[in-house]
Structures are given as structure tokens and as C-alpha cells.
Amino acid sequence: MLSKEVFDAEEFKVSLRAYISFVSRKIKKNPNYNIHPIVRALSHAMENLQNSGKPGTYYGLSGDAKDNPEGVYTQLFFCVLAAHKDKMISIVEFYDLIESRPVPIKVLSYILVLAMKFDKFEGNQINIDHAIKAINSVIPILNCIKFNNNEWKEARDHFESVVEEYKVNAPVEHDEFKITANEFLKIPSNTPMEEYPLAISSTIEHNWVYHEYRELFKDNCINIVFSSRTNEYSKVDCLNHVLSVLYGAPSLYFTSQSEWKYFSDLRLNEVSYKRPSIKRNDPCPCNSSKKYKKCCGR
Amino acid sequence: MYFFDIKKLENITTEYFNLIEDYFGAFYTPGLNKYLEAQKFKMLETAIQAILVSIEDLEEDLQEFWQKNSTEVISIIENTDIFKVLYSGDMSPLDGINFIKKTALYLDTLLIEDPISRLLDTKIVFTDKEYLFELTKHIFNLLDMKKLFFGEGSIPLLVIFPPLINKEIAVQIRHEVKNSSANYFSSLLQRDFKDYADVWDYLKSIKSSEQLINDIKDTRLLFLNEDNILERLNKLQIRTKKTTKLDTTSLTMGEILGLEIYGRFSAIGTQVFQSQYLSSQIVFDYKELWDLYKWDINQTVQVTPNVDNTMLHALQTQEFRWLENIDIDKFYLLRNEDEIKMVREALRRNIYHTLNGVSENHVKKQASINLDDILNEHSRKLEGLSKDLKKKFSIDTLAFIGGVISSVPAHLGIVPVIGAVSTIYGAVDIFTSTTKLVKEKKRINKSLMGVLIDAKQRSI
């Protein structure tokens, strides 16, 4: 029986091969084809390793600033490889510098599949329905539900009634909702949807969908209400949004659903398997400078 | 097949393999078990999606490839006068090189309908997992057998051809398949059905495997190739429900058998049509299909399969299992049209198409005797040559040594030249005659017969 991290790593290996084979065909047709920064970071690290040819640790960094008109990074990944003496190469970690978090192995596979699925639609934008369909089919722990913009007025009015009720029956400890409610009350009721702050509008939408379409919510899933002012959504923003839910700050709310494994887990595991047995007269591994037999091995 | 045609065919085949390697080369490792590799993918849910998305353009690229090359491939196959046989059974011969070894003795070229084009059509029926499992298995199988698609100047042993069925022909085949299915169920259930729809209505009423077995008058007609019919039917039910993404929850056992039989007749109808179109013989790698094919032609045109088809089937039976020991690399290097023709003729000795048709058992027994006969004949020849060689070597060497000894005093005496010349003649004679024997022995050893003798000896 494979451990979860080994299984995830095997899955990533196959997904990466599929992605590379996909990209090679794309590049044959269009030499300027844009490869996902994750794979670029990995390939930079591999190039560094090949140039050196020695065992050691190698890094690769890649982002999307070049592809953005403002030259800002919306995606920036860092990959660390270890080249061993026996010529084996292992991934030490993938790091998302925008989210400031390591990327879980399983999510790396999701990203590659989604990148290929999104690529089926030309341009930088993707239709929101297509995006939701792709995300839901690839990531089983996510359940994206689209908010219908035509229901904004009803959603807003419903939220107002919730806030009114909250004023009467609010539990004292609900500070977060209190902040949102107070913010909401400051906004005139005739303000168009587009002018609402994102945090408030998404709360209104989520609340409405949960109230009106509860059957769309799934158990043991992270349910996200997706909304877009237009029918088209930036592919990169969409993917970043998903990543943020999966392992960024919001993911802290859903740890029970995800239980991610990282390359660092795999490596620790590997090391623990390979750890040589300690002889009685060896120095103790706890750095006490005593012999093992007189310290931890007693 | 002319050299020029062979070259053209090989160029097209190279392009075909480049295409599938472009899509599947990253996942294929030569020498690994294709079943285990395909099975491994089945467990990786996200990776399955990654592969499926990455190969989405395969269908379009393959269609483009056949649009460009199908006319050429069909014309070359049609116009060639070699002994060609069309493969029928699974999408590709999954028994791989072992299947080829057993049939290659009798044919010049085995024609295989492009399995990928066929599998792409099943995408709407199979679950993603099953579809990828089938696709990977057959693509890895083709890659395993890749070298057999190239004859390096000779006729390739395997040739891929495009699907030949257009919409019009598909309608005709479907009509025939429905008739055959209706006849089959009439015989199986001993009932008169008005038409095909009537058959389905009845099958719908058969809910369980037990009820089905009770309704069947002669279970041998099921051609399920297994002793425990109940177990086999239950397996069939599980497999159908597990592998298709269609709603199978309401399907009764009768309907499941109906689908299975319809599928088999459909495969037979399609491949028989294609074999006739390409003027080739046909070989089935599933006993179940072969039995159904025999039953069908016996019912519809009251004939038995011809000698060649029967022989090709016989070669896959237990009696010829030893053919799996053939060294395929040597075999492939040594085979040529003339030698295969000689083996084919030898195998067919004393086998005739009589008024009663062709007896499968007789073909099997006689072919086995014939093959043993030719192998024994060659073994004897080989032994004879070895004996001659030993004898010649000892006698001629003695003469040669004698010649040298006698030439020594002569050399010292009055006529040294005569002795030396006779010695040289003796040496030349030994050299030329021995070389002839060695060459003949090597020729047999390095011939198709030599490869067969080796394979037979290894099985003992």
C-alpha cells in the first residue's frame, strides 16, 4: 500500500508527463506557446542542475510578470531540486511566492490538468460556466456554484433581512459577521452591484445561494459561490482564486477536507526510510556529544 | 508487393507511429507489462484526467492522418498478391508477439484495423477510466510490436489499415447483424420471434442469470468458452455495468446478453466485410468469436469456414503452443515469401475442402503431423550433414596428413614438386568440400526451418 504522499507524487509524475507531452505538441505548432510557471520553474531548476552536473541543491523560479501588461506577478513559483550522488533527482519543494506557501503535491497535478483544460479555450479569458465545469470535474473537493447576476436585487434584499434579524438575535461572539454587516449598512441600497466591495458582494451572493439553492451545496466539499460581473473571467485570476482556496489563507477553514501532502513530507519520509541504524558507540544523534549507548540508546 | 510499395507503406507506418509516440511516448517504457502499466493509470484519478485532456487532439490528428494516407494504404493492400490475413477479435492482438508467432508461419502479412480509430469511437460508451485503460493497453501493445510493422525491404509482417466502413455500409452491416442476432436468439431460446424488436422485448423480461439459464435450451450455443455458465454470465453483468457510462441500472440480464451478442455479431460483420474488401483471409483470436462466426455462416449460407481460416484458427490451439518458443527476431530476419509459401503448402498437405466442408479437428491433427514431418525431414538432413562432415573431416584429414608425410621425403629426394602439389590439392579439396557441407548446415540452421527446429526442441 502506497503512502498518500508517494501516491500523490506518482500522480504528479504522470500528470507532468502528460502536460509536457501536451506542451511539446503545442510548441511545435506555436513556438511562443506559454508554458505554466510551475513547469518553467521546474525546467529552470533542471537546467541549472544540467549545467553544473554535480550533486547538490538546485533552484528554479518562474512567474508571469512578462505576460502581464502591468508587469506585475500574479503567479510566481519556486522549485527546489536535489541531485543525489547516485544520480537520482528528487523534488524538494514547490513554493508559491504569491501565497507564501508550499504547494501541495496533489494541487500541482490539479494545476496542470486545469491549465490544459483552460487552454482549450482561446485567449486569456474563459467563460465562467466553462471554468466552473472544468474546476468541478478536476478537483473533487471543490464544488463551485455560479451566482446568477440577475438575482442580485433579491440577494441584496435577502441579506438586508438577515442583517436586520442579526441586529435582534446576534450572538456576541460573531465579530466577523458584525464587521461585514456594519460595512453593508453603510452602503446605500440603490448602489449598483459592480460598486460593492468584493468582500461584501461575495458574502451577499454566498448567503443568497445557500438560502435559495441549498441542494447545490455538497457535503464533504468546499462549496464556493462563483460570481463574475461579466461572463468572461481571466484564466489566471480564476486559477489563482482556486489555488488560494485550496492552499492559501482561506484554506485554513477547510483543512479537514484537504489533508494535503507536500514534497517535503515525501523527502522526510524517504530520509526516515533510509536512516542507517546507529551503532552503540556512535555519537548520539541528539547532539549531546555523548556516545549513543550512554545517551538516548541507554 | 513491390519494393516501391513496401517503401511507401513503411513511410506511412513511420508517420503513424510518430503520431502515437507523440501522444503516448512519454508514458511508454519498452519491456514493461502493458496490462500493469495501463492498470496503474486506472488508480490515478487526477492523472487520468491529465492524460485524457492531453490527448484530446489525437482524434483530429488521426483523422487528418488517415484522410491523407488511407487511399494509398488501401490501394497497396488491395493490389498486392501476397497471402494476407485480417485480424479480428480485440482491438489489437493483445496476446501480442505470441499471437503473431503462431500465425506468422502461415501468412505473409497480418492486417490490423487501426485500433486507435476504433477505440476513439468507444469514448462515448466507456467510462473515462475504462477508455483510457483500453487505449493505453492497445497503444502500448502496438509499440511493443512496432518492429514487426517494418520489413526492412521485405513485406512487413503487420500492416495497419484505416477503417473501411462508411455510413452506408454501416447501415447494411447493422441490418445483417440484427438478422443474425434474431436468428441466434431464436435458436438459443427455441422461440419464434417476429422481428428484432420482439427479441429485445423478450430479453427484457429475463431478469436474472438463473432465469436466463433456465430459458436457454442448449447452453453450448452461448459460446462463452467457460464451464461455469452462471459465473460467466454474472461476470458479464458486472463488467457491462462497471465499464460503461450509459445508464445500465435498469438493464436486465437478458438485455446484457443481447448487447454482448449484438456486439460480437457487429465485430464479425465488420471484419468479414473488411476482409472481403481487401481480398484477405480472416483470423479470430477469440474462440468465442470464432465459434459464433462458424455458427453464423453455417446458419446463413450453410457452409463451414474455408481451409485457410480453419488452419489459422488451428495454429492458435494447444497443439501448436510450442510455436511461442520461436525466436521472433531470427524468424523475422529469415522469413521471405518463398519460404512461407513452402511452409504453407507443407502445412496444407492432405487437407481438403470436401463436400461436407472443412473438419476443424482434421485440420488441426493433419497440420500438426505435416509440421512434424517437415521438421523431421530437416532435422534428418541436418543430422546427415553433421555425420558427413565428421566422416569427411576424419578421412580427408588423414589423407592430407598422409600427403604431407609422403611429400617430406619426396621433397628431400628427386621429385619434390609432385609431392608438394598433391598436398596442396588435398588441402584445397578438403577446404572446398567441407565448406560446402558447413555452408549447407549453416543454411538450414539459419533458415526458417532452423528457427522452427529450435523452437520445437525448446518445447521438449
In angstroms, rounded to a whole number, what is the distance separating the alpha carbons of residues A146 and A132? 8
Is pLDDT above 60 for B30?
A: yes
Average pLDDT estimate for B147-155? 83
Is pLDDT above 90 for A77?
A: yes
Q: Name the average pLDDT for chain B.
A: 83
Bigger pLDDT: A67 or B387?
A: A67
Is pLDDT above 50 for A273?
A: no
What are the strands, taking DSSP E only, across chain A?
A: 56-63, 76-83, 89-96, 101-102, 125-127, 142-146, 222-226, 232-234
SS3 state at B384:
helix
- Residue B21 confidence (pLDDT): 95
Is pLDDT above 90 for B72?
A: yes
Bigger pLDDT: B436 or A118?
A: A118
CA of residue B458 relative to chain centroid, distance = 21
- Sheet of B84-88: strands edge to edge? B158-161, B109-113, B84-88, B281-284
Q: Whole-angstrom distance between the N-terminal and C-terminal Cα of chain B? A: 38
User: Given pLDDT bands bounded at 50, 70 and 90, which one contains residue B23?
Assistant: very high
Any CB–CB contact under 8 A between A25 and chain B? yes
The residue among A293, A144, A155, A153 whose CA lies nearest residue A217 is: A144
What confidence tens digit (pLDDT) does each residue in B285-323 have? 888 889 999 999 888 877 888 888 998 888 888 888 888
- Residue A170 confidence (pLDDT): 61
**CA–CA distances in Å: residue A138 to residues A77, A109, A120, B23, B291:** 21, 10, 15, 21, 44
Quote the minimal CA–CA distance from B242 to chain A in Å: 20
Within 8 A of A109 by CB-CB distance, chain B residues are 46-47, 50
Is pLDDT above 80 for B404?
A: no
What confidence tens digit (pLDDT) does each residue in B320-334 have? 888 888 888 777 777
Cβ distance A120 to B56 less than 8 Å, yes or no, reads: yes
- Proportion of chain B above pLDDT 90, given as a percent: 28
Is pLDDT above 70 for B417?
A: no
- Residue B399 confidence (pLDDT): 52
Give the least confident one: A112-121, B4-13, B50-59, B353-362: B353-362
Is pLDDT above 50 for A271?
A: no
- Proportion of chain A above pLDDT 70, given as a percent: 88
Within 8 A of A25 by CB-CB distance, chain B residues are 22-23, 57
Quote the minimal CA–CA distance from B33 to chain A in Å: 17
- Supply the ipTM of this predicted assembly: 0.81
Cβ distance A113 to B46 less than 8 Å, yes or no, reads: yes
Mutate which of B42, B53, B57, B245 to test chain A, going by most A C-beta atoms within 10 A? B53
Q: Name the average pLDDT for chain A.
A: 85
Within 8 A of B22 by CB-CB distance, chain A residues are 21, 24-25
Q: Which residue has the cell 477505440?
A: B119
CB atoms < 10 A from the CB of B367, how many?
26
Is pLDDT above 70 for A285?
A: no
Any CB–CB contact under 8 A between B26 and chain A? yes
- Residue A110 confidence (pLDDT): 95
Any CB–CB contact under 8 A between B64 and chain A? no
Within 8 A of B135 by CB-CB distance, chain A residues are none
User: Given pLDDT bands bounded at 50, 70 and 90, which one contains residue B14?
Assistant: very high
Is pLDDT above 80 for B416?
A: no
* Candidate from A25, A106, A116 with C-beta closest to B22: A25
Is pLDDT above 80 for B8?
A: yes
- Residue B80 confidence (pLDDT): 84
* Candidate from B22, B53, B57 with C-beta closest to A113: B53
In angstroms, rounded to a whole number, what is the distance separating the alpha carbons of residues B22 and A21? 7
Average pLDDT estimate for A45-62? 91
Bigger pLDDT: B206 or B421?
A: B206
Give the least confident one: A49-63, B158-172, B358-372: B358-372
Is pLDDT above 90 for B235?
A: no
User: Given pLDDT bands bounded at 50, 70 and 90, which one contains residue A272?
Assistant: very low
Any CB–CB contact under 8 A between A6 and chain B? no
Give, in degrees to the nearest 5, the angle at Cα B207 between B205 and B213.
100
SS3 state at B367:
helix
**CA–CA distances in Å: residue A147 to residues A138, A150, A205, A208:** 20, 9, 7, 9
β-sheet bridge partners, residue A225: A145
User: Given pLDDT bands bounded at 50, 70 and 90, which one contains residue B410?
Assistant: very low
- Residue B196 confidence (pLDDT): 86
- Residue A221 confidence (pLDDT): 86
Mutate which of B28, B41, B54, B132 to test chain A, going by most A C-beta atoms within 10 A? B54
The residue among B324, B209, B316, B211 whose CA lies nearest residue B260 is: B209
Chain B nearest-CA residue for A108:
B46
pTM: 0.80
Q: What share of chain A is helix, strand, coil (3-state, %, to 5)?
A: 55, 15, 30
* Candidate from A11, A25, A116 with C-beta closest to B53: A116
Cβ distance B46 to A109 less than 8 Å, yes or no, reads: yes
What confidence tens digit (pLDDT) does each residue in B101-149 have? 888 888 889 999 999 999 998 888 888 999 999 999 999 999 999 989 9
Is pLDDT above 50 for A275?
A: no
